[in-house]
């Protein structure tokens, strides 16, 4: 392995190379016998010969260094080695004289990794050598992994940084220069405060780094002054652990989301503007259709045309309402609630009556049990029930029954809507309450569903402090369950 390993008979099985600096030929031979099979031992009678080979580029996995050497002493040789290579790069095991505590202390202070006193016990020498070789092997693996990480980070468009527990930058990828005029060296060893970051932003970063050091992944968004103006960056802070799971450092991977945020913001505003501007003409169409229906009592043909107009305008109004609600939640405003005491029985009864009038061909079963009063936004709960019922009617056979049940529990009211349609596929079920998802892969026959209905249901339940769940199978059909607490302070999120 690298310069510190030598293949045994040219095969894949390799033993680490250990250098022994020992002036006694007898001790050199003894060490060779003891360590046979554990390493490849190369012996030197004096320090200068070993240093000459080291200067030519050879590198052992471990050096066994006798303290008492002629000419250059073992301590002097150790200090010279440490001036060139640290203890992790080239471990040194000192061979000291038994009973000389001062020699042991001096050796360790000079940079020895460990020591063995002579005359040594063979098993102790093997154990200490093996321990140092294992540590060196781990160090080399980590070194190779770090080199691979740095090569990868150097080619990423994202800004990669590493922080220690004092919040100092210990690594920054070259991509930082795409956003600032400062070289990588400008950041190394400095905290964000020392780099001149505003105090509020420093607090944001410090809190995120501290949380990542507890073992949690953290995401933050911040602005970075760039060569082409300020850029919006999104960073994930990841704890880096050792083999035992201890967090050693925090890795930050920041990507430029400026264009993405601008595009999404534009799309959300566009949806909001279009939806809002459509509401007024749709309201006018509905009003005129209602007036026309009252006046054309005897003209069946005219009433049929006006009824079609009214149904189409009603569906369009529902679509616009869903788009407005989607825009509100995406812009961070949440769904506005007007809270008051409501009886959910009355709210759902009204929704069922409207559904029966609109779909006289379908069978609806209605069950109520217990007290169903709660503090809520009645209009929003009507919207929730309407979306669930429309979904059940949409994705169930025309001849089947849709069951709606309301149950009052001590702390909550539970609304259940069940249909006997085909089961929702597992991959769809996992993201059912996300925007623009449908409960089935089949085409929407009515044109009513753009995939926001269940998302709005989830948002309304969440705004009330409740939750919505779904279960679906061939045997039981599909059931949506909404659990709403009886008392909830108004909340937008």
| 443: pLDDT strictly greater than 60 | no
Lowest mean pLDDT among 47-56, 160-169, 354-363, 441-450: 441-450
Average pLDDT over residues 196-215: 93
Q: What residue spans in the chain does CATH classification 3.30.450.20 cover?
A: 156-256
**Closest C-alpha among 273, 268, 274, 279 to residue 329:** 268
Q: What is the pLDDT of residues 58-85, one digit of tens each?
A: 999 999 999 989 888 999 999 999 998 8
Q: Token pair of 220, please?
A: 């933050």
* pLDDT reading at 227 higher than 50: yes
- Prior bond to 119 cis, omega within 30? yes
Residue 266 has pLDDT above 50, yes or no: yes
Cα angle: 10, vertex 16, 21; to 5 degrees: 120
Highest mean pLDDT among 134-143, 243-252, 405-414, 479-488: 405-414
pLDDT at 163: 95
Give the CA distances from residue 457 to residues 129, 335, 471, 482, in Å, rounded to whole numbers and listed in that order. Answer: 67, 11, 16, 9
Q: Which pLDDT band, with edges at 50, 70 and 90, does 492 fall under?
A: very low
Confidence of residue 283 (pLDDT cuts 50, 70, 90): confident
Average pLDDT in the 331-355 region? Answer: 86
| pLDDT tops 70 at residue 439 | no
231, 233, 266 from 259: Cα distances, Å: 9, 10, 10
**Is-above-0.75 flag for pTM?**
no
Q: Decide if pLDDT at 4 tops 60.
A: no
User: What is the predicted pLDDT for the residue at 7?
Assistant: 40
Q: Apex CA 490: angle with CA 411 and CA 485, to 5°?
A: 15
* pLDDT band of 246, cuts 50, 70, 90: very high
pLDDT value, residue 275: 65
Domain with CATH 1.10.287.130 in the chain: 261-330
Length of the chain: 493
More confident of the two residues 280 and 131: 131
- Give the class (CATH, top level) of 340-485: alpha beta
Q: How confident is the model at residue 272 (pLDDT cuts 50, 70, 90)?
A: low
Tokens of 225: 């002054």
Q: Could you tell me where in the chain the CATH 3.30.565.10 domains are found? A: 340-485
Residue whose token pair is 């093996």: 130
| Residue 206: pLDDT over 90 | yes
Task: Assess whether pLDDT exceeds 60 at residue 449.
Answer: no
Q: Tens of pLDDT along 93-121? A: 999 887 778 888 999 999 999 999 988 89
Sign of CA dihedral 241, 242, 245, 247: negative
What is the CATH superfamily name and number for domain 2-148? Answer: Response regulator (3.40.50.2300)
Q: HEC profile for the chain? A: CHHHEEECCCCCCEEEEEEEECCCHHHHHHHHHHHECCEEEEEECCHHHHHHHHHCCCCCCEEEEECCCCCCCHHHHHHHHHHHCCCCCCCEEEEEECCCHHHHHHHHHHCCCEEEEECCCHHHHHHHHHHHHHHHHHHHHHHHHHHHHHHHHHCCCCEEEEECCCCCEEEECHHHHHCCCCCHHHCECCCCCCCCCCHHHHHHHHHHHHHHHCCCCEEEEEEEEECCEEEEEEEEEEEEECCCCCEEEEEEEEEECHHHHHHHHHHHHHHHHHHHHHHHHHHHHHHHHHHHHHHCCCCHHHHHHHHHHHHHHHHHHHHHHHHHHHHHHHCCCCCCCCCEEEEHHHHHHHHHHHHHHHCCCCEEEEEEECCCEEEECHHHHHHHHHHHHHHHHHCCCCCCEEEEEEEECCCEEEEEEEECCCCCCHHHHCCCCCCCCCCCCCCCCCCCCCCCHHHHHHHHHHHCCCEEEEEEECCCEEEEEEEEECCCCCCCC
CA separation for the pair 352, 348 (Å, rounded)? 6
Q: Is CATH 3.30.450.20 what the domain over 156-256 is classified as, yes or no?
A: yes
First to last CA, the chain: 58
Residue 483 pLDDT greater than 70, yes or no: yes
Band (pLDDT 50/70/90 cuts) for residue 400 is very high
Q: pLDDT > 70: what percent of the chain? A: 88
For residue 457, give both structure tokens.
């249901």
Judge whether 248 and 238 are in contact, CB under 8 Å. no
Give 335: exposed, middle or buried? Use CB within 10 Å, 0-12, 13-18, 19+. buried
Question: Would strands 5-7 and 14-21 be described as parallel, antiparallel, or unpaired?
Answer: antiparallel
Tell me the mean pLDDT in the region 248-274. 78
- What distance lies between CA 286 and its chain's CA centroid? 47
CA nearest to 376, candidates 411, 335, 342: 342
pLDDT of residue 219: 92
- Residue-wise pLDDT for 288-315, tens only, equals 887 887 787 777 888 788 878 877 777 7
- CATH topology for 261-330 is Helix Hairpins (1.10.287)
Q: What is the pLDDT of residue 36?
A: 92
Percent of the chain residues topping a pLDDT of 90 = 48
Residue 1's pLDDT band, with cuts at 50, 70 and 90, is very low
Q: Which is higher by pLDDT, 412 or 315?
A: 412
Which residues make beta-bridge pairs with 117?
Answer: 96
Do residues 452 and 322 touch, judged by C-beta distance below 8 A? yes
Of the candidates 420, 437, 418, which has an alpha carbon nearest to the alpha carbon of residue 429? 437
Supply the pLDDT for residue 213: 95
Give the model's confidence band at 430: pLDDT under 50 very low, under 70 low, under 90 confident, else very high.
confident
Q: Which residues pair with 94 in a beta bridge?
A: 65, 115
Question: In terms of Cα–Cα distance, which of 286, 383, 273, 282 is closest to 336?
Answer: 383
According to DSSP, the residues that pair with 470 across neighbouring strands are 480
> 487: Cβ–Cβ under 8 A, 6 or more apart, which residues?
374, 375
* CATH 3.40.50.2300 residue window(s) in the chain: 2-148
Residue 445 has pLDDT above 50, yes or no: no
**What's the chain's average pLDDT?**
84
């Amino acid at each position: 392995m690298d310069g510190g390993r030598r293949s045994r008979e040219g095969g894949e099985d390799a033993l680490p190379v250990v250098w022994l600096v020992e002036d006694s030929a007898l001790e050199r031979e003894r060490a060779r016998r003891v360590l046979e099979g554990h390493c490849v031992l190369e012996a030197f009678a004096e320090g200068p010969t070993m240093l000459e080979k080291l200067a030519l580029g050879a590198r052992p996995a471990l050096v066994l260094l006798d303290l008492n050497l002629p000419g250059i002493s073992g301590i002097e040789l150790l200090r010279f080695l440490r001036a060139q290579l640290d203890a992790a790069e080239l471990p040194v095991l000192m061979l000291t004289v038994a009973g000389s505590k001062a020699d042991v202390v001096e050796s360790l202070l000079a940079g020895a990794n460990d020591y063995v006193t002579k005359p040594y016990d063979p098993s102790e020498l093997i154990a200490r050598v093996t321990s140092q070789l294992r540590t060196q092997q781990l160090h080399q693996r980590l070194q190779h992994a770090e080199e691979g990480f740095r090569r990868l980070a150097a080619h990423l468009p994202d800004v990669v940084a590493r922080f220690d527990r004092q919040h100092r930058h210990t690594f920054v990828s070259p991509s930082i220069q795409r956003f600032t005029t400062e070289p990588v060296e400008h950041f190394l060893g400095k905290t964000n405060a020392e780099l001149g970051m505003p105090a509020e932003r420093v607090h944001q970063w410090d809190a995120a780094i501290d949380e990542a050091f507890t073992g949690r992944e953290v995401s933050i968004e911040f602005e970075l002054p760039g060569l082409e103006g300020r850029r919006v960056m999104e960073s994930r802070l990841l704890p880096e652990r050792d083999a035992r799971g201890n967090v050693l450092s925090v890795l930050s991977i920041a990507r430029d989301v400026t264009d993405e945020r601008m595009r999404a913001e534009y799309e959300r505003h566009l949806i909001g503007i279009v939806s809002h501007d459509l509401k007024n003409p749709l309201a006018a169409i509905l009003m005129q259709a209602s007036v026309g229906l009252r006046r054309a009592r005897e003209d069946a043909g005219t009433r049929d045309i006006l009824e079609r107009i009214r149904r189409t305008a009603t569906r369009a109004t529902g679509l616009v309402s869903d788009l407005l609600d989607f825009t509100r939640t995406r812009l961070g405003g949440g769904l506005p609630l007007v809270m008051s005491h409501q009886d959910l029985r009355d709210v759902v009864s009204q929704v069922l009556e409207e559904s029966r009038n609109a779909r006289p061909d379908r069978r609806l079963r209605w069950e109520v049990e217990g007290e169903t009063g709660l503090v809520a936004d009645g209009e929003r709960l009507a919207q929730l029930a309407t979306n669930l019922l429309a979904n059940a009617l949409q994705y169930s056979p025309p001849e089947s029954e849709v069951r709606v049940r309301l149950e009052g529990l001590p702390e909550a009211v539970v609304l259940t809507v069940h249909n006997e349609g085909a089961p929702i596929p597992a991959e769809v079920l996992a993201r059912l309450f996300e925007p623009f998802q449908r409960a089935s892969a089949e085409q929407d026959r009515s044109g009513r569903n753009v995939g926001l209905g269940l998302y709005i249901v989830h948002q309304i339940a969440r705004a009330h402090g409740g939750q919505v769940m779904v279960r679906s199978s061939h045997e039981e059909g599909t059931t949506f369950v909404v659990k709403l607490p009886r008392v909830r302070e108004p909340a937008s999120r």
